[in-house]
Amino acid sequence: MDLEIERELMEPRTPSPVVIYDGPFGSMLRAAIDDIDGLMLVTVTDADHVTIFREALPEFHEPQFEEALIDKCFDAFDDTKQLQAGTRHVVTLFFGAMRVVQFRVDTYYGTIVSDDICNMGMIHNLVTRIRKCLKVLSGVSDKKGSHKGQQL
């Protein structure tokens, strides 16, 4: 398993573009990055692996690592669906000094990366807020047929 992850990290990939989101959702993500000590990355992708929202510390620029985390998020939720392991759709992982929380809302997948000093209660509160916003976006997308152009 570790060898597979290493190989995946070594593959050249095009990094996701960094986009600034001016709406309330983008402001909430920026405030979280500023206010929660140890929070490094918040990213939300759609089912096609297209980055919908992304906020990160300026120092956090690990595109291959980020892409591998997103891929693993999709795999994790495919596995939990097959195992029928619950309906909450939130997975928390601990890797040494790093904490990763991955979540799913309909066709949207999210990944949050923080260090070991981060308050996980605050992270899970952030996940709850993000999931509520994504449920609204998902409802709008269902009515409009697409998430593009929606201001969240």
What's the predicted TM-score (pTM) here? 0.71
pLDDT at position 124 is 92
Residue 44 lies in a domain: yes
pLDDT at position 1 is 45
Range of the domain at 88: 2-139
Predicted confidence pLDDT, tens digits, the chain (152 residues) = 455 555 554 554 444 444 555 678 888 888 999 999 999 999 898 888 888 888 888 877 777 877 777 777 777 766 555 545 555 678 888 878 888 888 888 888 888 999 989 999 999 999 999 999 888 888 776 665 554 444 45
Residue 151 lies in a domain: no
Residue 133 lies in a domain: yes
pLDDT at position 127 is 93
pLDDT at position 77 is 67
Q: Which amino acid does the sequence have at 58?
A: P
Assign residue 86 the CATH number of its domain. Answer: 3.30.450.30
Residue 10 lies in a domain: yes
Q: How far is CA 88 from the centre of its chain?
A: 15
Please enumerate in sequence order all residues whose Cβ is within 8 A of that of 98, keeping only pairs 6 or more positions apart, or say none: 113, 114, 115, 116
Residue 152 lies in a domain: no
Q: Which amino acid does the sequence have at 124?
A: H
- Across the beta sheet with 39-45, the strand order is 51-56, 39-45, 108-115, 98-105, 90-95
Token pair, residue 147, equals: 């998430």
Residue 145 lies in a domain: no
| Residue burial 48-84, b: 16+ Cβ < 10 Å; e: rest | eeebbbbbbeeeeebeeebbbbbebbeebbeebeeee
DSSP H helices, 42-119, are: 63-83
Domain count, the chain: 1
